Amino acid sequence: MSGLTMFFALLMYGAALVFTVGVGWRVFIYARTPAPLKIPTTPAPTTRTGVWIRMAREVVLFESLFKSNKWIWLFGYLFHASLLLVLIRHLRYFTEPVWGWVALAQTFGTYAGFAMLAGLFALWLRRIVVQRIRYISNLSDHLMLWLLMAIALTGLMMRFVAHTDIIGLKMFALGLLRLDIQPVPADPLVLAHLALVAGLMLVFPISKLLHAPGLFFSPSRNQVDNPREKRHLAPWAAKLESK
Amino acid sequence: MAKVEFETPKMREYPVIPIIHADAMAHSQPFVASSQHQESLGFPGQLVDNWKEVAIDKMGELLTKYRSLKVYLDSCVKCGACTDKCHYFQGTTDPKNMPVARQDLFRKVYRRHFTFAGKYFPRLVGAEDLTEQVLGDWYKYFHQCSQCRRCSVFCPYGIDTAEISMAAREIMDTIGKGQKYCNEIIGKVHKIGNNLGLPEPALADTLQGLEEDIKDDTGFDVRLPLDVKGADVLLVTPSADFFAEPHIDGLIGYAKVFHQAGISWTLSSYASEAANFGMFIGSYDQMKKIAERVRTAALELGVKRIIVGECGHAWRVAYSFWNTLAGPFDFLDPRYPSPQHIIEFTSDLIDSGGITLDKEANDNRIVTFHDSCNVARASRMGNLPGGQFELPRKVIKAACNHFVDMPADTIREKTYCCGGGGGLLTDDLLELRVKGALPRMEALKHVVDNNGVNNVAAICAICKSQYSKVLPYYGFPRDMIVSVHQLVSNAIVLGDKQ
Ligand code: HEM
Ligand code: SF4
Ligand code: SF4
């Protein structure tokens, strides 16, 4: 096994580990932290089912964002929907034989790459052009968009500019899954793409990408509006009771 | 107090998002609480020596107690969707009044002390230590947030800046930098039972005076009972209802409704306050203590129901928190929601024919309705989500022939704050209050110009006081603001049922 392969295998394993443990830990902390008072933004659903529907609308449609700002919604939705398609498309590198529905998504997946890039670029333009958003942006907010754009760009280049050894890449990916390391194709584009993706996984648990799990734990969105019917006592608040 | 000169913002034909002006409101801050007011609530009298450590420790504690705080601080993606949604930003153009920027004052300290990125790469993620300058910003800008939750409606994750303002205020109280207005008032509630510091004899006197006024006015013996044991209903209402205009006309309205419905009721001198400023300062403890007065009073008087008068944040605390803070209220009659809002009560009586309203009594009025933030976005009325919008409108329409709503993006869940909520209803923040009222005043002007509206009805004591104060700044008459139960009071037919 070459040093290069060794390095990349370790990088991918390490990144996947940090990602899983990091996000898992974060989710654990969110779940552990009590929400001592009922604070759903009303009107809010009065049943659990209603809350699931509200949440689904937020995740699938970005409903609140739509109410808020049509441009951010458009670009943001374009980016996220494309990201989802691209991720689905990538499943073919990790499945053998490729699942039927993944194969179906291949054509969309290709265009989604461009759409994702366009969405990200538009979001970044907003960040520099709109005075208010420039004001609230930190360097990390720009870097995050660049990182994602770089991932999309290297990916698209492999497909449309300098064809790469896809079979070799798939062997490498499957090898990682099967704990039977195969050589990584020594193509600079492949290596850059992989390294950037590893970078994304590494920063995920320590960055604003936590919005993805965060949304599900947001009390203003995930609480049932039933405070008159049910008490909602957090453990630390219950201790004040006995006094 | 040094009088601050300021200009009332111009009302815009078509509200556009303003250009930002850094530090436009950096001079605005409320008076700091005196050591006496601080200490009576168990907070340090003045800024403690090691305030930085104490503040960071407190922040750490709150992060383990409130999921909202933790999740909101982590989740913001700086998308900017909330940036133009705050009335204080629209009215002042100060960028730190953009909800996300306000949160960031807190978030940058959180990142510095509680996140990996902020500890090791502070510049990259905008993390900062809690310096004197930052504390100064906290004190200013967390007292330029009325905790109205409008930003929360529009954030893709529901991030509620109010939660962050509350946490910041709690931390500031803990290090000895509390706000005079809120803390002084909370002290009065603990000592005397209401925000005004109105003792029992004075209250009894006031109520008696009102009974005489009603008698002169209508010829009917409408009672305003105080501390009557065995009454069916305990009415808990904001103490402003006992003396301020137009609040008092609302109180008279409640009394007439009870009278006509033939339901026995009482006020309590011990719990003569629905308002609960413990919420504004983010203190669970204070909020609980104030709420428990109501429970105690209800038990002592042996009532079967609790009804809450017209007050926005009070209804939030009552509806959303009482059961948790001071419950269970299982000693009350389970056939009625507890607590119940006076609007729910009156609405039911309208449906059942328990009261009759003569709409023509209000024919001189063309009325619009101001949805108060805390009722609209933090509570409910009736059984259906959104009842908090429908029921007050229904009651108004039952009492008036002419009703018009303000533009759709300024009412219901998107309602704009009056500019004086969240513990900011004090004269040391007058400039902020006037400027923050801008979007609401623009919406009002729209229906005044187009529909001839001459009254705006509200169900919140703070809104009513704030309107009375700021309406003239925008060229509207002060008495344009009315209580919803004032309209009911005018229209209700007293005497034998037909
Ligand atoms: C449950 C899944 C997710 C939901 C519901 C969600 C939702 C959102 C929403 C509503 C926004 C704000 C609008 C915008 O700026 O685009 C946003 C921003 C963002 N999301 Fe997600 N997201 C999810 C997963 C992800 C994932 C997996 C990634 C990246 C790997 C990601 C990356 C981003 C980035 C970088 C931004 C900021 C865009 C900017 O800087 O303007 N999101 N997300
Ligand atoms: S809308 Fe929410 S996520 Fe977007 S900047 Fe504002 S607080 Fe952050
Ligand atoms: S809660 Fe209201 S006042 Fe506070 S930042 Fe949000 S919109 Fe502004």
Domain residue ranges in chain B: 35-178, 187-491
Amino acid at site B346: T
Amino acid at site A137: S
**Domain B35-178: assigned CATH number:** 1.10.1060
Amino acid at site A140: S
Note whether B71 contacts A136, CB cutoff 8 Å: no
CA end-to-end span of chain A: 67
Of B163, B181, B238, nearest to B29 by C-alpha is B181
B219: left (phi over 0), alpha (psi -120 to 50) or beta: left
Distance between CA atoms of residues A143 and A149, nearest Å: 10
Ligand 2: centre distance to CA B425 (Å): 27
A194: pLDDT strictly greater than 90: yes
Three-state secondary-structure class, residue B328:
coil
Band the pLDDT of A96: cuts 50, 70, 90.
confident
> Which residues, judged by CB distance below 6 Å to any ligand atom, belong to the binding site of ligand 2?
B 76-82, 99-100, 155-157, 159
Apex B136 CA angle, B130 and B139, nearest 5: 105
Question: A95 to chain B nearest CA, in Å?
Answer: 32
Residues in chain B within 8 Å Cβ distance of A26: 74
Q: Would you state the structure tokens that stand for residue B218, as one six-digit string? A: 């209508």
Residue B211 and residue B222 in contact, taking contact as beta carbons nearer than 8 Å: yes
Nearest ligand to the CA of A126 is: 1
Residues 6 or more apart whose Cβ sits within 8 Å of residue B454 = B365, B366, B448, B480
Of the residues B62, B78, B391, the best mutation for testing chain A's interface (the one with the most A CB atoms within 10 Å of its CB) is B78
Residues 6 or more apart whose Cβ sits within 8 Å of residue A229 = none
Three-state secondary-structure class, residue B243:
coil
Note whether A41 contacts B123, CB cutoff 8 Å: no
3-state helix, strand, coil in chain A (%, to 5): 75, 0, 25
Tell me what pLDDT residue B343 has.
98
| Adjacency order of strands within the sheet including B340-341 | B265-266, B233-236, B305-308, B340-341
Q: Would you state the structure tokens that stand for residue A85, as one six-digit string? A: 């398609």
Q: At residue B23, what are phi and psi to the nearest 5 degrees? A: 60, 20
Identify each DSSP E strand in chain A by its residue range. none
Q: Is B161 in the pocket of ligand 3 (CB under 6 A)?
A: yes
Distance between CA atoms of residues A168 and A178, nearest Å: 15
**Mutation to probe ligand 2, out of B75, B98, B152, B155 (largest number of atoms < 8 A from CB):** B155
pLDDT in tens, A10-69: 999 999 999 999 999 999 999 999 999 999 999 999 999 999 999 999 999 999 999 999
Q: Atom 6 in ligand 2: which residue has the minimum CA distance?
A: B82
Q: Would you state the structure tokens that stand for residue B346, as one six-digit string? A: 């009156």
Of B84, B139, B79, nearest to B106 by C-alpha is B139
- Total number of residues shown for chain A: 243
Ligand 1: centre distance to CA B38 (Å): 43
Distance between CA atoms of residues B288 and B274, nearest Å: 13
Spell out the per-residue pLDDT of chain B, length 498, in tens.
445 688 999 888 777 889 999 999 999 999 999 999 999 999 999 999 999 999 999 999 999 999 999 999 999 999 999 999 999 999 999 999 999 999 999 999 999 999 999 999 999 999 999 999 999 999 999 999 999 999 999 999 999 999 999 999 999 999 999 999 999 999 999 998 888 888 999 999 999 999 999 999 999 999 999 999 999 999 999 999 999 989 999 999 999 999 999 999 999 999 999 999 999 999 999 999 999 999 999 999 999 999 999 999 999 999 999 999 998 999 999 999 999 999 999 999 999 999 999 999 999 999 999 999 999 999 999 999 999 999 999 999 999 999 999 999 999 999 999 999 999 999 999 999 999 999 999 999 999 999 999 999 999 999 999 999 999 999 999 999 999 999 999 999 998 765
Distance between CA atoms of residues A8 and A112, nearest Å: 27
Tell me what pLDDT residue B1 has.
43
Interface TM-score (ipTM) > 0.85: yes
Residue B427 and residue B1 in contact, taking contact as beta carbons nearer than 8 Å: yes
Residue B274 and residue B264 in contact, taking contact as beta carbons nearer than 8 Å: no
Dihedral of the alpha carbons of A176, A177, A180, A182, in degrees to the nearest 10:
-40
Identify each DSSP E strand in B182-325 by its residue range. 233-236, 265-266, 305-308
Residue B164 and residue B72 in contact, taking contact as beta carbons nearer than 8 Å: yes
Helix axes B67-75, A3-32, angle to 10 degrees: 140
Q: Which residue has the tokens 């501390």?
A: B227
Amino acid at site A147: L
Distance between CA atoms of residues B176 and B170, nearest Å: 10
Q: In this structure, are strands B340-341 and B367-369 parallel, antiparallel, or unpaired?
A: unpaired
Residue B414 and residue B328 in contact, taking contact as beta carbons nearer than 8 Å: no
Q: What's the sign of the alpha-carbon dihedral A183, A184, A188, A189? A: positive
> Which residues, judged by CB distance below 6 Å to any ligand atom, belong to the binding site of ligand 1?
A 59, 62, 65, 72, 76, 79-80, 123, 141, 144-145, 148, 209, 211-212, 215; B 77, 79, 156
| Of the listed ranges A108-117, A202-211, B313-322, B374-383, the one predicted with least confidence | A108-117
Q: Which residues pair with B341 in a beta bridge?
A: B308
Give the pTM: 0.95
CA end-to-end span of chain B: 57
Distance between CA atoms of residues A149 and A158, nearest Å: 14
Helix and strand element counts for chain B (H, E): 23, 7
Q: Which residues pair with B403 in a beta bridge?
A: B367
Residues in chain B within 8 Å Cβ distance of A42: 376-380, 385, 388, 413
A47 touches chain B (CB under 8 A): no
Of A4, A15, A25, A18, nearest to A199 by C-alpha is A15
Band the pLDDT of A161: cuts 50, 70, 90.
confident
Three-state secondary-structure class, residue B247:
helix
